């Protein structure tokens, strides 16, 4: 098996959705509205990122985020407290 020496053995990969109104948490839109559902998604995403960043360094775990959105193709996403850059290739 091919192994990249630059990669750690242990890795936490988080898949999520970028909080776009009308495209995330769609089942909650009737109750929260498109903006409210997107805001909930943003808050949940930030909580997951905060928890993962607190958990991984002391355990030597590589951390990766992947957001399923066409916005990812633009190169950078900005949540309130985090800037996440995409890497192509």
Q: What percent of the chain has pLDDT over 70?
A: 66
| Cα gap 40→28, rounded to integer Å | 9
pLDDT score, position 5: 58
CA distance 9 to 63: 11
pLDDT in the model for residue 6: 59
Which helix (H) or strand (E) covers residue 82, if one does?
strand 82-85
Domain housing 37: 11-85
pTM beyond 0.85, yes or no:
no
Residue 28 pLDDT > 80, yes or no? yes
In a domain, 63, yes or no: yes
Residues 6 or more apart in contact with residue 61 via CB below 8 angstroms? 8, 10, 11, 12, 55
Would residue 2 count as lying in a domain?
Answer: no
* pLDDT at residue 11 in the model: 84
The mean pLDDT value for 23-39 works out to 95
Residue 58 lies in a domain: yes
CB 22 within 8 A of CB 29: yes
């Amino acid at each position: 098996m091919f192994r990249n020496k630059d990669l750690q053995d242990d890795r936490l990969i988080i898949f999520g959705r970028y909080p776009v109104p009308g495209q995330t948490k769609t089942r909650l839109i009737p109750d929260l509205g498109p903006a409210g559902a997107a805001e909930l998604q943003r808050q949940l995403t930030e909580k997951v990122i905060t928890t993962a960043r607190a958990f991984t360094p002391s355990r030597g775990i590589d951390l990766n985020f992947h957001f399923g959105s066409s916005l990812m193709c633009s190169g950078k996403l900005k949540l309130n407290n985090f800037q996440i850059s995409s890497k192509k290739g």
